[in-house]
């Protein structure tokens, strides 16, 4: 059995020999063929040789344009595996005639009779104030997208954004084409665009009472009965999302705290967000130790963990016990384990008011016995309620999550991603448990993805993105 390469080499060699041996004397035979679709379709094509000047000793050599060949039949039938355009060549040669003859004929044919397999194709959209809408198709991996936004405008790409010039209801149509099969799929959605701008403006007042009790009252404008308020008090504690703009919080230590208030509402079907930050000074609070930390896995390749710590503002000293008989003094140390095993991490600390406290991790960290199983723990300042953490990759790729906070739909953007790499996305809670995961494929250095977290409970989460040799991490807040 000859391989395709051997057959192609043999065909080329034969053509060369014939051209040398026969010279220009090829008038006695002329290659030619016609074709038609075979019964039943499914890529079957019947070729009919109509060459002239042939004899019973004429040899026929067919190249079907899809790296397959036939060397025996004057009129073969061939089945193609994919729709597309193919260049078919017939060569004939006969050494029994005088003069000997060689002739070739080439024709381009189009294959359109292969049924396309059904796929689950659709797209989602997120509407923003001032008529801006972002779209996301659910098929990746080389599909070619074409969008009609319903207002006479068009776009391409898997996740385009479009700004409409007027409010209204638009029928958006997108189609995708699989380049390997030439199959095209279409999806249609109705999009309602609301031109009303987001008029939310955040603000609040704070009244510091005795015993560390502080009363906060929102003085924000542009709110409604549906406005949701989220509070971060700067001491590592938060208020559950609610529709009341008034909240009271008791601080357990004196100090200066940065307080954040986040608001979310909607204008029609359009989400609207605002925030306000202010600094308050608390005195007269009880001297209660209240440090805490949460362990979050940072990388599945180097097995690093991050200990996100919340210290009281009056922290005086800290000692980290790593569970392997060693400890480190300081607020933000790092430690690398040398032996395999399970380890519990504990923090011993003291406050300037004289109180001391101890807090230990709720879960173990584990180092394997392999030499490549490196386990390092880095203590990181969580800084109250932070909505963005610098990228962890060495090449300083930039990750952003917006809007953040959000009720369920986030847009993930990465600048400096590796093109053509598999993208692994994980969202984890503060205990390091994965609550959302999916895989994708990056098509360029600028990567964008819409995340639908409507089934994830409200709270603070970490998002970890791995793409090739790069890793990114950020914090995100779901407010419902």
Each residue's pLDDT tens digit, 335-361: 998 888 888 899 999 887 778 889 998
Residue 19 pLDDT more than 60?
no
Name the most confidently modeled range: 202-206, 207-211, 474-478. Answer: 202-206
Q: Give the side-chain half-sphere CA count within 13 A for 77.
A: 10
Give residue-wise pLDDT tens across range 97-122: 777 889 999 999 988 777 777 788 99
Q: How far apart are CA 35 and CA 320, in angstroms?
A: 80
pLDDT of residue 433: 66
Full-prediction pTM beyond 0.85?
Answer: no
Q: Is the distance from CB of 232 to CB of 384 less than 8 angstroms?
A: yes
Contact 264, 228 (CB under 8 A): yes
Tell whether the model's pLDDT for residue 390 goes beyond 80: no
**Lowest mean pLDDT, pick from 237-246, 251-260, 267-276:** 267-276
The dihedrals phi and psi of 9, each to the nearest 5 degrees, come to: -65, -40
Structure tokens at 57: 């000793």
Q: Judge whether 278 and 203 are in contact, CB under 8 Å.
A: no
> What are all long-range contacts of 133-138, with beta carbons under 8 Å and residues at least 24 apart?
133/161, 133/162, 133/163, 133/164, 133/191, 133/193, 134/159, 134/160, 134/161, 134/411, 134/450, 135/159, 135/160, 135/161, 135/162, 135/172, 135/174, 136/449, 136/450, 137/174, 137/176, 137/187
The C-alpha angle with vertex 390 and arms to 342 and 378, in degrees rounded to 5, equals 25
Rounded to an integer, the average pLDDT of 33-47 is 87
Give 390-458 as a 3 state SS string. CCCCCCCCEEEEECCCECCEEEEEEECCCCCCEEEEEEECCCCCEEEEEEEECCCCEEEEEEECCCCCC
Domains of the chain: 4-111 (2.60.40.10), 123-193 (2.60.40.10), 204-282 (2.60.40.10), 292-381 (2.60.40.10), 398-478 (2.60.40.3080)
CA distance 248 to 215: 4
The 10 Å CB-count burial string (b at 16+, else e) for 93-116 is bbeebeebbbbebeeeeebeebee
The answer for residues whose C-beta is within 8 angstroms of residue 2's C-beta and 6 or more apart is 10
Strands of the 33-37 sheet, one edge to the other: 33-37, 44-49, 77-79
Kindly state the average pLDDT of the residues 206-213. Answer: 89
434 — pLDDT class (breaks 50, 70, 90): confident
The per-residue pLDDT for 97 is 74
Terminal CA-to-CA distance of the chain, rounded, Å?
A: 67
What SS3 class is residue 18?
Answer: helix
4 vs 477, more confident: 477
The secondary structure of residue 141, as a DSSP letter, is S
Contact present, 370 and 304 (Cβ < 8 Å): no
Mean pLDDT computed over every residue of the chain: 79
Q: Which two tokens stand for residue 34?
A: 């016609």
Q: pLDDT tens for residues 79-95?
A: 988 778 899 999 999 88
Interval 288-321: pLDDT, tens = 788 888 888 765 455 678 888 888 777 889 999 9
pLDDT score at 298? 65
Residues in the chain: 480
**Vertex 305, ends 367 and 466: CA angle to 5°?**
105
Q: Is the pLDDT of residue 18 over 80?
A: no
Whether pLDDT at 467 is above 90: no
**66 vs 130, which has greater pLDDT?**
66
State yes or no: pLDDT of 240 exceeds 80.
no
């Amino acid at each position: 059995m000859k391989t395709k390469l051997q057959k192609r080499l043999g065909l080329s060699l034969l053509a060369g020999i014939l051209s040398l041996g026969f010279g220009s004397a090829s008038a006695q035979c002329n290659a030619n063929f016609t074709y038609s679709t075979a019964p039943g379709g499914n890529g079957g094509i019947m070729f009919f040789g109509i060459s002239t000047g042939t004899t019973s000793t004429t040899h026929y050599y067919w190249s079907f344009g899809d790296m397959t060949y036939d060397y025996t039949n004057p009129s073969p039938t061939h089945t193609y595996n994919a729709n597309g355009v193919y260049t078919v060549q017939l060569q004939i040669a006969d050494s029994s005639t005088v003069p000997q003859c060689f002739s070739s004929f080439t024709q381009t044919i189009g294959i359109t009779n292969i049924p396309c397999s059904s796929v689950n194709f659709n797209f989602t959209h997120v509407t923003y104030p001032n008529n801006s809408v972002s779209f996301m198709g659910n098929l990746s991996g080389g599909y070619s997208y074409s969008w009609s936004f319903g207002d006479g405008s068009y776009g391409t790409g898997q996740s385009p954004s479009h700004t409409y010039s007027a409010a209204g209801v638009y029928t958006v149509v997108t189609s995708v084409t699989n380049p390997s099969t030439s199959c095209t799929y279409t999806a249609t959605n109705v999009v309602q665009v609301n031109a009303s701008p987001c008029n939310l403006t955040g603000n609040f007042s704070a009244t510091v009472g005795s015993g560390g009790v502080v009363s906060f009252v929102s003085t924000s404008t542009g709110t409604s009965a549906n406005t949701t308020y989220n509070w971060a008090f700067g001491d590592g504690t938060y208020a559950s999302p609610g529709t009341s703009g008034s909240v009271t919080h008791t601080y357990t230590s004196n100090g200066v705290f940065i307080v954040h208030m986040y608001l979310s509402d909607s204008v029609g079907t359009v989400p609207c967000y605002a925030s306000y930050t202010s600094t308050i000074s608390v005195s007269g609070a009880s001297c209660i130790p209240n440090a805490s930390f949460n362990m979050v896995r940072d990388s599945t390749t180097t097995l690093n963990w991050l200990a996100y710590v919340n210290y009281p503002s009056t922290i005086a000293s800290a000692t980290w016990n790593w569970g392997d008989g060693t400890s480190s003094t300081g607020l933000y140390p790092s430690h690398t384990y040398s032996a395999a095993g399970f380890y519990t991490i504990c923090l011993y600390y003291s406050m300037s008011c004289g109180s001391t406290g101890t807090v230990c991790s709720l879960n173990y960290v584990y180092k394997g016995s392999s030499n490549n199983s490196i386990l390092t723990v880095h203590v990181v300042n969580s800084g109250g309620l932070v909505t963005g953490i610098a990228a962890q990759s060495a090449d300083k790729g930039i990750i952003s999550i917006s809007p953040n906070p959000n009720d369920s739909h986030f847009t993930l953007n990465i600048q400096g991603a590796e093109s053509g790499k598999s993208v692994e996305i994980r969202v984890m809670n503060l205990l390091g448990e994965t609550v959302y995961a999916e895989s994708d494929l990056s098509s360029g250095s600028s990567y964008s993805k819409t995340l639908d977290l409507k089934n994830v409970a409200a709270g603070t989460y970490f998002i970890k993105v791995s793409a090739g040799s790069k890793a990114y991490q950020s914090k995100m807040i779901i407010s419902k």
